[in-house]
Structures are given as structure tokens and as C-alpha cells.
Amino acid sequence: MTLTYLCSLPLPDSWFDELQKRMPQVAVHRMTPETPPPAEVLAAVDLLHTSEWLPASADVPALRLVQLDTSGVDHVRGTTLWESGVPIATLGGIAPVPMAEYALMSILELAHRMPLIARHRLDRSWPSNAERLASLTPRQLSGATAGIVGYGRIGREISRLATTFGMNVLGVSRSGARVAATEKFDTGRQTIDDDPAELFPIDRLDEVLRRSDFLVVVVPLTELTCGLIGPAQLDLLPHGAFVVNIARGGIVDEQALLDRLRDGRIGGVALDVFDEEPLGADSVWWTEPGALITPHVAGLAPQYHAQTLDLVVENLTRLAENRPLLNEVDRAAGY
């Protein structure tokens, strides 16, 4: 059986050469959003590999899978492809290691007061001994508790790294159960069997917040999680707690977080995502003391090309063999 594959992504020629080498029975087509393929190619495509370019479902009548180049699917909801019921698969599982490393980098930088140290560097001011002791003494990680909201492949990898520093880990997921994700692509290093985290269902989030010295938000953006961490939830955190958001804008109330950072109830924040991206040049976050700001880079994966190729090859093989697909989105759950 010959499958037709269409890609709208600017991947290198070598990537497509390797795909054709590994899947010689697949008809490989490339396009750009500015130059859509001929109607006959669209009509024949079995697997569409894309990010933002989403044709009308009526234009792809043979489509059997949309393979996204993103972990989130919020940009697909409301489209005819979403409504069509054609399976959608995400890029999830590519980035657990770099995202966990980013989270731990943020925890370490916040614990060691790097945002405040960066301000001294910017001002070329050397703090006195008293100032250093008062404001730059690090927070001890051993014995501290990290609450991870969104406990899947990335959460488990964050947990693995956090426990090496002696941290206690509380994980929050929809069910709070350890569920083997047999149809999920995963490049993380921690398995369910060796995970020491204490898990909670999302309806016990308040309990986790009260115990979290470091709150790491990595949950997908869905109807359930939009606005999940608002003023009331932030006020449950221990005084001086730190917040790391590597999920999506819209999950954490930015203004409430800013207010609590400024009044000292939050000890520091690391933000890689925002309500509006790109972050405007006039945003107060760029210069806010106590804040680490990065331009949505936590999920960039050093082995992206090789891992993405493995995922696409696996899903093309499963399509050919009529087997369950990797990373298929649960439309009811929203991810």
C-alpha cells in the first residue's frame, strides 16, 4: 500500500532524503504555506505533517492523520480539521529532557537569587556584606518541595532531576494515577516504575500549592487549565515561593503573579511563555526585578530532527499497518 505524505515545514533536504530512504513505499511531497500543493496531491494525502498550515477538511478527503510539529493543539481547536474527527498527533515526547533541564536551570537560578544578582550586574553595583546576606543568600533545595502541575512525560523528567538535588516532588495530573502511556512517544529517562513523586488529581491542586516551595507549570492549555493558576491559587503558595511557567500563556494569571512578585509574596519567577507572544518591547516583564524572562525556548530540542523523523516514520508505519497511532490527541481532554 502506497501512502502519501505532505509536509508544510521548512525541514532540511537531508531530512526528507532520510525519510524516503527509510520509507521507500511512501510518496513524499513538500510545500510551503505560500505555495499550496496541487489539488490532486491534497486529495490523496494520508498524513499531513504541519504546524500552523491547516487546510479545510473538505480539501483533504483521504486524510488519515494530522501530525503536528507542536506539543499543544490549542491552535487547531475550532478548525474544520478538528471538527472532522481525523486523528491528530502531537510532537509530544520530543522535549522532556531539554524542558526538564530548563525547569531545573530556572529552579537553580531562582534559588541562587540570579535575577537580583543580574540587576546588580546591570547597575554595576557591588552589594555590601549585609545586603548579600539579606537578599542573596540562596534557598536550600534539599528538603524543599517542587509542585509540578501537568505531570506527564515532561513532569516525570523534571521530577527525576529535582530528586537528585534532594527535593520532594508533588505531581498534579487529571487523574493523579500512574498510567503507562504505551501509545506515547517519549525521549525522557524516567519510567513510571522508578518515579518517587507523590501524585495528586487536579481536584486536589490546592493541597499541592500549599506545600510547594517551587511551583512548575507544564500543563497543556485546555478549557480545563485556562486560568488554572489565578490570584486565589497563588495566595495558597508558601510565602516567598518561586514560580516557573514553561507551559502556555493563559494558564497563570500574569497580573496576579506580577502583583505578588512585587509585594514579596512570590520570591521570584521564571517565565518562558506569555499571554501575548512575542512579548512586547514595552512589557514590564523585561525589566522586572525577580523575574527570569526567555522567549519561548524551553522546548527547543537538540535532537529535534532525528527524533521527529523517528516519530513520523513510526506513525507512517502504523498507518500502513492500521495500528494505533503514537501521540494521538484525546479531543475530549484537549491534548
For residue 15, what is the enclosing H or E element? helix 13-22
Question: Which of 156, 248, 254, 260 is labelled catalytic?
Answer: 248
Q: What is the pLDDT of residue 191?
A: 64
Question: Which of 121, 131, 277, 323 is labelled catalytic?
Answer: 277
- Report which of 74, 55, 241 is spatially closest to residue 66, judged by C-alpha positions: 55
Whether residue 87 is preceded by a cis peptide bond, meaning omega within 30 degrees of 0, is no
Q: Are 86 and 64 in contact (CB under 8 A)?
A: yes
Q: Are 153 and 327 in contact (CB under 8 A)?
A: no
Question: Which of 178, 265, 296, 318 is labelled catalytic?
Answer: 296
Start-to-end Cα distance in the chain:
30
75 has catalytic annotation: no
Q: Are 71 and 92 in contact (CB under 8 A)?
A: yes
296 has catalytic annotation: yes
Q: What is the pLDDT of residue 194?
A: 74
Q: Report CA 133 to chain centroid distance, whole Å.
A: 36
Stretches in the chain below the pLDDT threshold 70 = 1, 179-182, 189-193
Q: Are 75 and 69 in contact (CB under 8 A)?
A: no
Give 169-196 pLDDT, tens digit per residue. 999 999 888 766 567 888 886 666 678 8
277 has catalytic annotation: yes
How much is the pTM? Answer: 0.91
DSSP helix/strand/coil, 194 = helix
